[in-house]
């Protein structure tokens, strides 16, 4: 088990590459959590160091201190990873751990407090210490690809919420079908069939949506 390290203000500032005055300013702006007090001595830990490095990375990417303060507040009050994963990790999707600066790099300029809160409410993101956890590597890749194509992240998240509603309805339909003809234990074994049906029907629906009408004679 890694021993928890603690630092005095001067040492923390040196490790973070900032001045003590800047550290005090960040603390006053509530960009970092309060230190542990032992008499008149303030003790900081690796959580504070990680937050300071995140602030530096976000500043380099053009975020303002006001924006970072709002992000920090959303981050500190976000859903815990335990709430995100519920009873266990997804059976087929792979969760992804990200630092806040890595998330900002994937969605350049789109990681606002509103979008962060929306992603947490939707169940895409949770927090684990100084890291963020995305529920699905596939959803993360698709979302970032859509944003790179010029679609605002807020609209991607709103579309995701609508897709979630339809996906829940489809899952209920499939579960009801199976449970009327087989025991509940067969649900897990047969779920690839349900996914194949949905993928095929979506592919056909996209064909119908994008197919150009033939010219009439």
Q: What's the CATH number for 1-77?
A: 1.10.1660.10
Sheet holding 125-128, edge to edge: 96-98, 131-134, 125-128
130-169 per-position pLDDT tens digit: 778 898 999 999 999 999 999 999 999 999 999 999 999 9
Tell whether the model's pLDDT for residue 123 goes beyond 50: yes
- Tell me what pLDDT residue 141 has: 96
d(CA 159, CA 9) in angstroms, rounded, equals 45
Domain boundaries, given as residue ranges, for the chain:
1-77, 160-211
CA distance 201 to 94: 24
pTM for this predicted structure? 0.70
1: pLDDT strictly greater than 50: no
């Amino acid at each position: 088990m890694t021993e928890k390290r603690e630092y005095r203000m001067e040492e923390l500032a040196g490790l973070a590459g900032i001045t003590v005055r800047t550290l005090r300013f960040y603390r006053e702006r509530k960009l970092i959590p309060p230190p542990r007090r032992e008499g008149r001595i303030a003790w900081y830990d690796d959580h504070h160091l990680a937050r300071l490095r995140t602030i530096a990375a976000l500043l380099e990417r053009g975020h303002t201190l006001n924006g970072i303060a709002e992000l920090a507040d959303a981050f500190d009050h976000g859903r815990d990873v335990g709430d995100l994963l519920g009873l266990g990790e997804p059976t087929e999707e792979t969760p992804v751990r990200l630092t806040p600066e890595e998330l900002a790099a994937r969605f350049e300029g789109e990681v606002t407090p509103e979008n962060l809160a929306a992603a947490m409410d939707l169940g895409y993101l949770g927090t684990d210490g100084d890291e963020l956890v995305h529920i699905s590597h596939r959803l993360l890749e698709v979302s970032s690809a859509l944003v790179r194509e010029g679609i605002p992240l807020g609209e991607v998240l709103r579309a995701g919420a609508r897709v979630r509603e339809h996906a829940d309805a489809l899952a209920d339909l499939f579960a009801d079908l199976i449970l009327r003809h087989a025991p509940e234990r067969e649900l897990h074994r047969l779920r690839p069939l349900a996914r194949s049906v949905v993928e095929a029907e979506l592919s056909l629906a996209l064909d119908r949506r994008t197919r150009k009408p033939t010219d009439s004679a």
